Amino acid sequence: MQAEQADQSAVPDSMELPEEIARRETRLAALAQARAKIEVRAKERYARELADYQDKLVRREEKARISGKKPGGKPPAPPAVGPTNKDQINLTDEESRIMPTSGGGFEQAYNAQAAVDTNSMLIVAPAVTPACNDREQVKPMLNQLTQLPAALGKIEHLLTDNGFYSAANAAACETHDIEPLMAVGRESHHPGPFERFTEPPALPDNASPAQRMAHKLKSQAGRKLYALRK
């Protein structure tokens, strides 16, 4: 009964059924493409988060080995596989991402990076990425820096805040023959005189790149170099 009434009812003048059907089919196809792209992004995110998770495990084990004590706190949780309910895609600018802003909240944006020479204060290597995690940008930036013209001179140190730090990034810097000076944690604004005017204990011969970097940052020479970042 209801089907017969629907068939006999008049179609609005502004609606053309073939065009409406084509429009809806186009939207369904666009949604299917968006879903496929979200799944690809989820796989890429999982690979990044897995690398970060493994790096945290290495740091946790390294800390336990140095201290000789069982690590406290909860161990890091492994990443989840597949898309989540929060995954989105912008059909207008699909290369951009929803990113947290410094003042709070979120914006559809990109993550801009810049390597700056500490002597001239000139930007020598810019980059723009849709990844909001700064830790993932060290290796791409190292590749850019090592391709700069030789006339600009040799890059000796890479100074970053703790948002860029990972044990893998410290090792990558040494692979490129660049000494890393990445803050391992938040810096104290007013370190005590003992910390400022003493040198840290000697490192063992088998120290890792991350350990060597942390040791250098505690030395007077390392603190002086790292101050150039400010």
Write out pLDDT tens, residues 101-152.
888 888 999 999 999 999 999 999 999 998 888 999 999 999 999 999 999 9
Residue (of 26, 34, 24, 31) closest to 94 by Cα position: 34
Q: Which long-range contacts (CB under 8 A, 24 or more apart) does 204-210 make?
A: 208/62, 208/167, 208/170, 208/171, 209/167, 209/170, 209/171, 209/173, 209/174, 209/180, 210/59, 210/62, 210/167, 210/170, 210/171, 210/184
- How many residues in the chain? 230
Opening angle at CA 59, ends 55 and 63, nearest 5: 170
d(CA 183, CA 95): 30
The band of 3, judged by pLDDT with boundaries at 50, 70 and 90, is low
Answering whether pTM is above 0.75, one says: no
110-229: CATH topology = Nucleotidyltransferase; domain 5 (3.30.420)
d(CA 179, CA 173): 6
Q: What's the whole-number average pLDDT of the chain?
A: 86
Per-residue model confidence (pLDDT) at position 8: 55
Are the beta carbons of 182 and 176 closer than 8 angstroms?
no
For the chain, the domains span: 16-67, 110-229
d(CA 111, CA 135): 12
Residue (of 147, 109, 145, 142) closest to 128 by Cα position: 109
d(CA 172, CA 194): 32
Share of the chain above pLDDT 90, in %: 39
Q: Is the pLDDT of residue 159 over 90?
A: yes
Dihedral-angle region of residue 16 (phi above 0 means left; psi in -120 to 50 means alpha; beta otherwise): beta
Lowest mean pLDDT among 68-72, 89-93, 166-170, 192-196: 192-196
